[in-house]
Structures are given as C-alpha cells and as structure tokens.
Structure 1
C-alpha cells in the first residue's frame, strides 16, 4: 500500500491536506486505542475482583510502564527518522533506520527488565498499602515482564511501517491480538473451561499470549513486503556502528522527551497510590481512559509529524508546508472535540461500566468531568506543535518544554498535593490541564516563528 506522499506521486501539485492526515491517522489511532485498551480491558476484567485486585494491577502496570515508556519513546523517534528516510527515497537510509532502531529497542527492553528484577519488588513493597496488594502486584509484574520483550520488537516494526505510510499494517496486528487478549484473559482470570482461576495474574497471561501473536504477524508482513531491504548493501554511514551512532544522536532528544513524560506520569501514578483506596481506584480507572481517548488527538498530531518529515525529506516549498499545516490544525480541533465527547460518555457511564465498585469510586469519576472536557484542546494543539518541530529536527527545544513543565511543575506539585496538603483526587487530576497551559505559549511561539519550514534533513 503506497503512502499518499510517495515520491513518485505527481497528482498532488498543492501538497497533502487534512484528508491525507486522516488516511494515516485513523489506523494509527485505532492501533493506539487497542494498545492502551489492553490496560483498560485488564482493568475492566479485574474490577470484578474488587478494589484490592484493581489497585495491585495499577501498581504493577505503573512500574512496567517505565520500561514500556522507554521503548515507546525510542519507537516514536524511529518513526520520524523512518519518515525522513522514506521521503528521500533512499533504501540504504531505510535499512539503516530499521536496523539501528531495532538494536536500540531491544537494548532498552533488556535493560528495563534487569531494572525491574533488581528494584521492582522493593518499590512495590514500599508503595503498596497492604501485604495482599504487594503479593498480587508482584505476581502480575512477573508475568507481564514477558510483554515488555514483545513490545520491544513490535513497537519498532510498527514505527517502521508508520514512517513509511503503511499505518494499516500495525493496525491489523492489533486487531488480530485484541480478541485473543480478551478471550484468554477472561478464561484465565475466572478459570473458565476447566482452566485454573489465576485472578489478577490471568490478565497478564492474556496480554503475553496476545503480544506473541501480534509480533509474529508484524514480522511475517515485514519479510513479505519489505524483506528486500535485508539484501540492500551498505549503510547510511560508513558502517553499521556509524549508522547506529547517528540514529542514537537523532533519537535521543526525542526519546528523552517521551521517556521523561512517561516517567513523570508513572511517578505521579505511584504517588496516587498514597491516596485513599477509593481515590486511587478511581485514578487507576480514569487514567487508561484518558490515554485511550487521547489517542485520537495524539495520533492525528503524529500523523501530521510523519507527513511533515516526508515533505521536508522531499524538500517541498514553504507554501506547501504552510497550506498542509493549516489544514491539519483544523482537523486537530475536531479531534479534540471528539476526545472531549468520548470522555464525557465514559464519565456519565461510570455506574453502568463499573457496577461492582464502591459508590464513592464511581462518583469520583463524575467529579473528574470538568477537567476532562477542557484538557483535550490545549493538549491537542501542543501535540501538533511538538510533532511538527520534531519532524524538522528541532528536538532539543521540544525536549526542554516537556521536561521543565513536568519536573518543575507536575511532579512536585502532585507530590505536595498528596503528601503534604492532602488534596482530593479531583485537584490532583487538574494538574494535567495546568501542565498543558504552561506549555502552550512556548510551543506556539516557536512554531509560528517558521524556522521548521526551512529545515534540511541531514544524513
């Protein structure tokens, strides 16, 4: 399936528009929804076991999320690098980007597993409010660690396909793995069809089975469609080591941005564990929904970044870039409105979705609604700015905006609110909105300056 921005296309004299963003974004959005939906599915299925099981899964998922976040961080960097390579039409560049990205992804996954093995148990023991939650969280994490290895391979391949405009291929892999995850999780959590009832651990087992199927599909598709790249001689630099070094140099600021965001989010999640059990359960439930619904805006922004990177690789004129970004931005506002509507639906449906949970837990989800209706709009606009600037290579500036907003505001303010001021979960959740408002001015000022349109894609 050719990208709408393939270099040999001559029927787009004025360049791409929001329609082309949509053609890339909708498979990426569905894929991301299914990815984050794994956590939502696990939370929904485990919710029937009560607040204790739900809290244990949330704690274990937060710790595993540090490593998964690092993998996703480098995968996002590779996605942009692949888009640049695709724009140039150089198969050696594509091969170098894929090989370098896979090497980095596997290294990050292995190092993350070692860190979990050394520090995970102690961290759970310190944060969990009861011994029962400690044991359940450790058991869940021990099995879920296998998902990390699968994601190291799967996310790298998915980013490669996305960067080439083949966004439907990763979607197909998730569509295949999702029903497998649901069915096996239900069976293993509850012990249906003669199987043992593993409880919380059964949810992790279902995720492991699903990731094996997903990675297998991606690998087969790559060998069938793009396997010829393995026979392309040479590397983008003089050697693979040189290409790897160049890839890391390009990727590190982008990865650091995503990794910082992930670490900050999961540190805040660990801080949430010190809230009351009902408040922590409510935060555990709403956080995956924020991620799942937020993918509508985030994937639109990432698709915008992919197209910008491809256009810069093709050395398109500034007028083409301006026209495209204006069209993409209008679409981003529509996406933000859709996200707000989805969150409204989730909060109003809390009683129907989670009837087995405490009334206080469900009422807290309704109390989150004012923040959730506003959050998508500044978040979506900031995402357009960030992905456009990254595509042009202005990665360090983007990194600084994210890092300072997270580590000088959200994390310390969240810690003070929970540990010192004992604020409610609603106030704690509102810090997500305030963070986006803090980032709004520096992001938009940089983009409107226009330097990104004159960027030159380097080797």
Structure 2
C-alpha cells in the first residue's frame, strides 16, 4: 500500500461501487453472522438457550453499536483524507479513531460491569437464563475489546478503498469461530461442555485473531504513516478534538439506533417465549441479508467522500449518484429474495424449534419483501449526506424517528396492547417510510455538495 495515494481523477462508475461493496458485504455478513451462527448452534439446546442469547446480545450490542458508530465516522474521515492526498490527515484520522474507540469501550465496559446484572435479573424468564446470560456477557467482553481495534482498522482500510483486507481477516476468523463454538458448546473431543457460553468463547477467539491480522497488515503495508510528520490540525490533541466533533453526530446516530434496537429487544422479552424466540432468530437475519443494500450505500458514501475531498461537486458527481441509486434498487431486490428464502426454509433450518415459533417466522415474510426498498434508498441518502458533512441533519432524522415513533410504538404494542409479534415487526418498515421524505428532500436540495472536510 505504499502507493495508497495513487488516485485517478476520473469519475468512478457503478462498477467502482461494486468493487468496494462486495468485500464489505461478505465481511458484514460474517460480522452479523456471528450472532446468527451462535443462535443456530444453540438452537438445538432449546428455546431457553436462544432466549439467553437474545437477552445477552441486547445488552452487549449497545457497546458494539457504539464501536461501529465511531468507526463509521473514522471511515468517512479516512476517505476524505484519501481524496485530499494529505498523509498527515490520514494519520490523524487513524490514530484519533483508534484512541476514541478504546476510550469508549473502557467507559462502556465499566458501566456494563455495574449495571448488567440488575438488567438481566429483571428481564430473564428463569434463574437459569439469568445465570447463563451473565456468563455469556462476561466472556463476550473480550469480543468487544477486539472489535474496538478491529473495527477502527477496518474503517481505515475501507476509507482507502482497500475493502478486501477486512474481508480476508474474517475469512480467517469465521471458520475458527464456528469450529471452536461447536466444540465448546457441546463438549466435543474431550473439551468441557460450556453450553451457551461456549458460543461466546468461540466468538472471542475469532475476534482476537481478526484484529491481530488487521494490525499486522497495517504495520507491514502502511508503515510509512509512522514516519509522517505533523498532524492535520497542528497537534494530535487538536486533531483528536476535530475528529471527535465530526464523529459525535455520527456516533449519536448509530448509538441512538443501537440503543433503540436493544431497548426494543429488551421490550421483546415480555413476549411469550415462542414469540420472543422468533424475533430473536429473525432480527440477526434481517441484519445479515440487509448488508447487501447497506454495503452498497456505504461504498457509495466512501466514493462521495473521496470525490468531495478532490473538490468534485458538479455533473460528474450527480451522474455517479444516479448510477449508484440504480444499483441500490438491484441490491434491494436481491435482499428481498434472500429474505423469502430464509423464511420459507425456516422449518428446515430450525427444525428443532417449536411449531408455533416456526409459524411466527412465516408471518414476517410480507414485511420483509417490501422493507429493503425504502431502507436501501434511505441508506444511500444517509451515507451521501454524511460524506458531505450533513452529519447533524442525518442524526436528527434517525433520533426522532426512533425515539418519537419506533420505541414508544413498540412499548405500546407489546406492553399495553399485547399485540402479536408480527404487528411489532412491521414497525421496521413503517420507520423507513417515516424517514423517506426528510432524507430525499435534503438530497435534492444539494447543500451537502459544499461541505465535508472543512476544519
């Protein structure tokens, strides 16, 4: 990567988005697949084991969401630095992102250590579920630490257009995750039988290997950054402060989304066990299959940030976005087809679960066939506006749609109206419809083309 700044002045094509997006898609599938794999592996232990996983993931997911949030901001800043060709800017973005991630997880794990036990006791259906959830989260803390490093390095490589390197790290880690989890869950080959906690152990080992791989590649291929003198804003503290100012609206957006999702996940715990298990199973699949559209939108945002860094804001940028939008519709069609296959095949995939649980999964299908289209178009808007510096506006759209609509609607439907899980699941689609007009009107206005990298 010594020629990392060998950039072209040509306007990228839709093929360029695809070249960035497909490694990000596969990698994202593997990231979300950790939860899907764990759910599938422990499903043979019954609904109670799945409930342990759902409760633990809702709590630990808060920290993982914050890590992803700040790493997304780092990805945009790295892409802008790549566009400008300023190596001090690139170095500043990398180190600022890494320091912020480590500080976030240090604070988060401390808070989690004091509060997780009480939350688990209040929401667990049985004492056994509460005990297993505590054990799972304790081990999963190692995953959170590794992801704080790994996600930052992933964002660095993505922002430079090197999206295949994070993919390679997961190609190394995921097989180890699966094999180790199977052995430790069921106590195979003479290993102790840890049950649900064994899934967390496999994930911890895999995450550590993934972060180690990326750190090694960074040192080998971008060692020149250690020799670059100076910082983007004069001093490291000034650069860190500027990075944080840029990142906070993005982090707030993602933190709000993650907290809202996990608050809803905790509300879902009030469902009967079969309905709660159905929601626990389908939500990771929504994330996994949805990565096709989300990765396309992220790749679009990376290229837009690079173009704005080069000062491109005219017809070429508009033409690029038109092609990217057409590609997003194709990606949404693929996602809808995948959802259909998953739901229709659920009796085979989850044959050990109760008939009522599998029947609940089938009721989600009509919603899943429509969801990818408004969600994909909104994602293109959100990533493009962030690349243009409209981070506060994007934050407002997400925060208000979640906390004035989705979370209270979920609470009312579940805790007061006692509606079925299918009605509650439909809120995912309704929320995207609520966000549609504010996103697309702001894109059409075009002020975002003038922002992005001003310090």
TM beyond 0.5: yes
Q: How has the CA–CA distance of structure 1 residues 405 and 317 changed in structure 2, closer, same or farther, with 3 Å as cutoff?
A: closer
Contact 1:306 1:391 in 2 (8 A): yes
Query: In the aligned structure 1, how far is the partner of 2:452 from the partner of 2:437?
Result: 26
Q: CA deviation at 1:131?
A: 1.0
Aligned pair 1:433/2:413, yes or no?
no
Match of 2:394 in 1: 398
Match of 2:215 in 1: 219
Query: In the aligned structure 1, how far is the partner of 2:235 from the partner of 2:390?
Result: 26
Match of 1:206 in 2: 202
Two-structure CA RMSD over aligned residues (Å): 1.2
- Using the size of structure 2 for normalisation, the TM-score is 0.98
Query: Which of the numbers 191, 213, 231 marks the counterpart of 1:195?
Result: 191
Match of 1:138 in 2: 134
Q: CA deviation at 1:7?
A: 5.5
Contact 1:2 1:166 in 2 (8 A): no
Query: In the aligned structure 1, how far is the partner of 2:244 from the partner of 2:318?
Result: 30
Query: In the aligned structure 2, how far is the partner of 1:69 from the partner of 1:76?
Result: 10
Contact 2:181 2:202 in 1 (8 A): yes
Q: CA deviation at 1:8?
A: 3.5
Count, aligned residues: 455
Contact 1:29 1:296 in 2 (8 A): yes
Query: In the aligned structure 2, how far is the partner of 1:56 from the partner of 1:183?
Result: 21
Match of 2:267 in 1: 271
SS at match of 2:190: coil
Match of 1:332 in 2: 328
Q: CA deviation at 1:452?
A: 1.8
Q: How has the CA–CA distance of structure 1 residues 303 and 270 changed in structure 2, closer, same or farther, with 3 Å as cutoff?
A: same
Q: CA deviation at 1:9?
A: 2.2
SS at match of 2:189: coil
Match of 1:233 in 2: 229
Q: How has the CA–CA distance of structure 1 residues 168 and 2 changed in structure 2, closer, same or farther, with 3 Å as cutoff?
A: farther
Match of 2:338 in 1: 342
Contact 2:363 2:422 in 1 (8 A): yes
Match of 1:165 in 2: 161
Q: How has the CA–CA distance of structure 1 residues 7 and 323 changed in structure 2, closer, same or farther, with 3 Å as cutoff?
A: farther
Query: Which of the numbers 126, 139, 147 marks the counterpart of 1:151?
Result: 147
Q: After the TM superposition, which residues 266-305 of structure 1 pair with which residues of structure 2 at under 5 Å, given as runs?
A: 266-305=262-301
Query: Which of the numbers 15, 35, 58 marks the counterpart of 2:54?
Result: 58
Aligned pair 1:102/2:98, yes or no?
yes
Match of 2:440 in 1: 444
Contact 1:101 1:156 in 2 (8 A): yes
Question: Deviations 1:127-177 (Å, cap 9, x if unpaired)?
Answer: 111111111111111111111000000000000000000100000000100
Match of 1:257 in 2: 253
Question: Deviations 1:313-355 (Å, cap 9, x if unpaired)?
Answer: 0001411100000000000000000000000000000110001
Q: CA deviation at 1:312?
A: 0.1
Contact 1:7 1:87 in 2 (8 A): no
Over 4 Å off, 4+ runs: none
Question: Deviations 1:340-386 (Å, cap 9, x if unpaired)?
Answer: 00000000001100010000000111110011110000000000000
Q: CA deviation at 1:457?
A: 2.3
Contact 1:36 1:288 in 2 (8 A): yes
Query: In the aligned structure 1, how far is the partner of 2:87 from the partner of 2:375?
Result: 35
Query: In the aligned structure 1, how far is the partner of 2:232 from the partner of 2:283?
Result: 41
Aligned pair 1:306/2:302, yes or no?
yes
Aligned pair 1:408/2:407, yes or no?
no
Q: CA deviation at 1:454?
A: 2.7
Question: Deviations 1:54-79 (Å, cap 9, x if unpaired)?
Answer: 10111011100000000000001110
- Using the size of structure 1 for normalisation, the TM-score is 0.98
